[in-house]
Amino acid sequence: MKINVVKSVLDASDAIAAENRKQMDGAGLLCINLLSAPGSGKTTLLQATIPRLGGGASSAVLVGDLQTTRDAERLGPVAAQVTQINTGRGCHLSPEQVAEGLRGLDLSAIEYLFIENVGNMVCPAAFDLGEHHRAALLSVPEGDDKVAKYPTLFQGASVILLTKADLIGVLDFDIGRVEADLSKTNTGAPLIHLSSKTGEGMDAWLAWLREAKAAHGAG
């Protein structure tokens, strides 16, 4: 009985995610769902990424947080459209919330739609929102043991971003351990070292985004 309840909820959730994806495909946009622990630098990354996508690319963000509109306020100056979704006590964005967010956006004007999920290494990984790709962020201060401890976050990612990479030498962080854990968890996704401080890795990340967009448009 319990299993039926859970299953029906997930089925309904997946159906809404599929509907979101169909809508975004219809508009020809690429949607990236950003997942990570709190404070790994999702908002900072988007602040640096969106202005550099260039070529007149129009980007929008749906940003999830329990409370506050702080992230949306930070993203307002760089993104063409931003919607803050407050989840209250909710530990992840749901496809229903994303569907509602999509209704408030002019999808035809968007090329890249970023979903900044609630900062949480566990729950967001369990919910398809309709995105085309997931980007999993791991920040150096979180420690080199997180891939093994939170495998579900990294398993489903198309790209893995090691943020605050300028701190590798400063803090006690063994990149070999991360690579060894990823070799058991996700061998398909590139691991990009990023630093918003030094700019390291931004070109690789932007290239990854443009390739994903081109491949999506062609598909």
Which H or E run includes 133?
A: strand 133-139
Q: Smallest distance, Å, CB 66 to a second copy?
A: 6
Q: Which of 117, 113, 105, 103 is nearest to 65 (CA)?
A: 117
Q: Smallest distance, Å, CB 184 to a second copy?
A: 11
User: 79 to each of 39, 40, 124, 174, 195, how far by Cα in Å?
Assistant: 20, 20, 23, 35, 20
Q: Smallest distance, Å, CB 138 to a second copy?
A: 9
Q: Which of 206, 172, 213, 180 is nearest to 192 (CA)?
A: 206
Between 141 and 210, whose beta carbon lies closer to a second copy? 141
Between 172 and 218, whose beta carbon lies closer to a second copy? 172
With beta carbons less than 8 A apart as the criterion, state whether 185 and 155 touch. yes
Alpha helices in the chain (DSSP H): 2-27, 42-53, 70-75, 95-103, 146-149, 151-155, 175-185, 202-218
Q: Smallest distance, Å, CB 81 to a second copy?
A: 22
Between 133 and 164, whose beta carbon lies closer to a second copy? 164
CA distance 204 to 211: 10
Interface residues with a second copy (CB under 8 A) are: 5, 37-39, 65-68, 70, 89-91, 118-123, 126, 139, 141-143, 145-146, 148-152, 164, 167, 170
Q: Which of 205, 200, 176, 203 is nearest to 190 (CA)?
A: 205
Q: Smallest distance, Å, CB 194 to a second copy?
A: 15
CA distance 26 to 205: 25
Between 141 and 206, whose beta carbon lies closer to a second copy? 141
- Name the DSSP letter for residue 150: S
Between 33 and 120, whose beta carbon lies closer to a second copy? 120
Between 150 and 208, whose beta carbon lies closer to a second copy? 150
Q: Smallest distance, Å, CB 54 to a second copy?
A: 26
